Amino acid sequence: MKSVLVLVSLLGLSQVSFAQQDTQFTQYMFNGLLLNPAYAGSRGFTSVVGSHRSQWTGLEGAPVSQTLSVDGNVNRKLAAGFLITNDRLGVQRFTEASFNSAVRITLTPRTRLAVGISLGATQQTLDGTRLDPDEREDTAIPMGIERAIKPTARVGAYLYSTRFYTGLSLGNVVFFQNGLPTDPNPHLFLTSGGVFDLGRKMKLRPSMLFKEDFNGPAALDLNTFLLFNEQIWLGTSYRTTLNIFNNREFVSNTRLGNALAVLLELHPSPLMRIGYSYDFSLSELRSYSSHEISLGYNFLKKKYGRMLTPRYF
């Protein structure tokens, strides 16, 4: 059994586990519903987005994640969305389905504030049959398959225009403890970004994401993209960890270790987008890379056919 399966199992089964547990995607900036329910409907049309991520490819027990989301407007002020995620990490699996709703307030002709809530349920599974512990009499390690289903919720606010955005959300706010050591902690997400003209056919889009669970170290993502001719996104993302609300020492080869990613996003038409990202680990697992692909489809009304107002967020 390779080292990561053992490492992941120990982190997941330890009562003092430091790892943040929310599903991680490199291309989250192209699907804001992953982080904030207030993002629902902010693009002005109905969208479907799917992603698949393989982290540390080739290493047994490494994280594998999928997500599928649908969101759109109910009317001028109300939006709704549905999100499902599946995350496998060693002997652990989390499957979550949630319904998202958001209400928008118009502040200026180009600026809106949305507040949203997400309600759903998560099934978490521990497959003890895949473990091969040295101490078989350790009662803290399950020998069979353990499952639990729990309600979960997320709340958020999202301020945006055609040129900038800022979002704040809190996840796992009613994720009641159920006795399994993998119970997730509440997570705080802060996002912000903008878009700037560099020429008639080129734009710059910087952004950031701050994640904190008030238990282990926080994660900070810094992203920079260039947009060419409204059709090609090319960018980089740097991820690092910060100790802000705690003084615990954190092992460097866990899931939130430092990483550098390159991303490519293609928009062959106003209806479709295709994304790919390649992550380089900057920790002890640097010999293993991560891959992520995403597909998006927009259901545009006839008046949006030429995309007169491109959506950058």
| CB contact at 8 A, 237 and 191 | no
DSSP track, 74-105: SSSSEEEEEEEEEEEETTEEEEEEEEEEEEEE
pLDDT at 310: 60
pTM for the whole thing? 0.85
Average pLDDT, the chain: 82
Q: Which of 166, 163, 126 is nearest to 11 (CA)?
A: 126
Integer Cα distance of 53 and 71 in angstroms: 21
Contact 193, 164 (CB under 8 A): yes
Lowest mean pLDDT of 8-12, 63-67, 96-100, 267-271, name the range: 8-12
Nearest-angstrom CA–CA distance, 263 and 15: 36
Domains of the chain: 29-299 (2.40.160.60)
Q: Please name the residues in contact with 42: beta carbons below 8 A apart, sequence gap of 6 or more.
A: 32, 79, 102, 104, 112, 114, 158, 160, 313
- What's the CA gap between 257 and 18, in Å, rounded? 12
Give residue 250's pLDDT band: very low, low, confident or very high (50, 70, 90): very low
Indicate the pLDDT class of residue 135, thresholds 50, 70 and 90: low
d(CA 159, CA 191): 10
pLDDT surpassing 70 at residue 33: yes
Average pLDDT over residues 292-304: 81
d(CA 93, CA 83): 17
Q: Is 98 exposed, middle or buried (0-12, 13-18, 19+ CB in 10 A)?
A: buried
pLDDT digits (tens, 9 = 90+) for 6-24: 444 444 443 333 344 578 8
- Output the CA torsion sign for 170, 193, 294, 52: negative
User: Which among 232, 239, 207, 216 is positioned nearest to 313, based on CA atoms?
Assistant: 207
